[in-house]
Amino acid sequence: MHWADVVAVNLSRRGGKQIISTGITPSGEFHIGHLREILTGEMISRAAIDAGLDVEFIFIVDDADPLRRVYPFLADEYHEFIGHQIGNIPAPDDTGKPDYERFTNDGFSYADYFLNPFLDALRAIGVNPRIVKNLAAYRSGKFTECIKTACDNADKIREIIERVSGRELPSDWFPWSPLDANGSLEGVTVTGYEYPLVHFTDSAGNSGSSDITLGLGKLPWRIDWPAKWAWIGVTCEAFGKDHGASGGSYDTGKEICQLFGYDAPQPLVYEWISLKGKGAMSSSTGNTIGPMEALDLVPPEILRFLIAGSKPNKAIEFDAGMSLVNLADDYERSCARNIAAELDDETLSRRRKVQLEDLMGAVRLSSVGHNSHTDSSNVSFRHLALLAQTKTDDIQVWQSLSMGENNPPSSVLIDRLKKMRTWINSPHFPDEMRIKIIDEVPSELLGELSDDDGLVLANLTRMLNDCKWDVDAIATCIVESAKTIEKSPRIAYTVAYTCLMGTKKGPKLAPIIAELDKPKVIRQFEKCLECLN
């Protein structure tokens, strides 16, 4: 079974309603690494629904978390908001400065600024969870019972955290962080507790009291997390390997959760998505590719396939270049296969059968709509990239694919081509696939061609002029143009690349030439021959 189906089977043994949870702090721009968490949870939710379970999928927005520092994308004015909850401070404007007017007029916060585009991306990829905002939950009293339990059992919680994590907490540690008079969590020291008040002094030495029933503060993360499990009723949650490490926040959370009278949810630990050559994605450092940016390049099904096709404990190295091309083509091939029929083969090994079952599950979970049919464009991304670069308009692309009024392109293919043109014009498109046909060959490049190169070019020009204009015939001409004078075919490729693209190498040559206008190619080669003579 697919990994999501395995989790669903385990949840069915737990019984009752299943609440699948994910959560992220909107402290900076979201990236496709964040998609691993929320899509992992959403795919478990789909699998559980398919298994006949009563399921709700939620997305917790940790907007009660504080702004920890002034990130590179923020102006210095944000120094005054360090320690303030990100759901209660102004969003940045276009220059990175706090937009006080918008915050005052409609409450548009720092957290909203980064959250809203991510929610748009989620809708585009078929993810529609119930949104739970942490700050509102604190203020509305949802956490009150857990806060009281934590404050009443401060010594027990300290013992759990120190024993399980192996680290010693400060002597003034307390399981509730009050907001000071200015709304900051930073520099506040708890001095006493008598329900419902937690007494404190702030960084300036001023005394104050926090009424925990009003939610004017926050539980530390290792307590906040199990408190959410308890009051929401979470039964399954996917989270990153940092939280799942031995002695990490899940290990402490499942014991603290018992104090709240609730059993910890079934965990699913996932590995990071990293950018190829740049390491783990990070909103704070700007090492990201955003979901909306990625959705401009490829269809949402392919981003879903990225997550569905990898077991959660497998790290994913991603880039928007060749990795994305390979992923897209793998998706297209998988959609076009009749995997169910392949599974009927009784001679299949158990290992091969498992691979096919995983692939069938990945294709199923890649569809944007739950249980909707996933359409293939029937055109590989490599070929579509070639057509988009060698044809000046869409009509020529459809003509090359033998499509027209009687056989119009599908809406899927039209969308693919639109995204492909965006991808080609972006810095993410791989150089090894970039095609630029030139009109004039630089004289310095022509000057580097030898007499043998000239003979090969003459042969190639004559052979192409006489050959059938398709990939196989053109490929034969390229090879034979050099072999007839007992030279390596490599010379023919170098000469052709030089004359057509002004470079000595490039994408696969014969398919490119086949999509170009034959008379134009012949004229270009003849012009180069004239210069050589």
Sign of CA dihedral 507, 508, 514, 517: positive
List, in order, residues 6 or more apart from 254 with CB less than 8 Å away: 226, 264
The strand pair at 177-178 and 217-218 is best described as antiparallel
pLDDT score of 206 more than 70: yes
pLDDT over 80 at 288, yes or no: no
For the chain, the structural domain boundaries read 381-433, 443-532
Q: Which residues pair with 270 in a beta bridge?
A: 240
The answer to whether the CB of 299 falls within 8 A of the CB of 291 is no
Distance CA 152, CA 157 (A): 10
**Residue 507 pLDDT:** 87
Euclidean distance between CA atoms 177 and 210, whole angstroms? 9
- Pairing status of strand 197-201 against strand 189-194: antiparallel
Least confident of 59-73, 81-95, 479-493: 479-493
DSSP letters of 153-196? THHHHHHHHHHHH--PPPTT--S-EE--TTSB-TT-EEEEEETT
pLDDT digits (tens, 9 = 90+) for 295-352: 888 889 999 999 999 999 999 888 778 888 888 899 989 988 899 999 999 899 999 9
pLDDT one-digit tens code per residue, 99-140? 999 999 999 999 999 999 999 999 999 999 999 999 999 999
pLDDT digit string, tens, across residues 69-98: 999 999 999 999 999 999 999 999 999 999
pLDDT of 216 reads: 94
Single out the residue of 260, 235, 248, 64 nearest to residue 157, CA to CA: 260
Residue 361 neighbours by CB distance under 10 Å: 21
Q: Which CATH number fits domain 443-532: 2.40.170.20, 1.10.10.350, 3.40.140.10, 3.10.450.50?
A: 1.10.10.350
385 in Cβ contact with 400 (< 8 Å): no
Arithmetic mean of pLDDT over the chain: 92
Other beta carbons less than 10 A from residue 259's beta carbon: 19
DSSP string, 244-268: HSTTSHHHHHHHHHHHTT-PPPEEE
d(CA 98, CA 246): 40
Listed in sequence order, the residues at least 6 apart from 211 whose beta carbon sits closer than 8 Å to its beta carbon are 196, 197
| pLDDT confidence of residue 3 | 96
Least confident of 86-90, 246-250, 446-450: 446-450
- Token output for 43: 């795919």
pLDDT higher at 341 or 284: 341
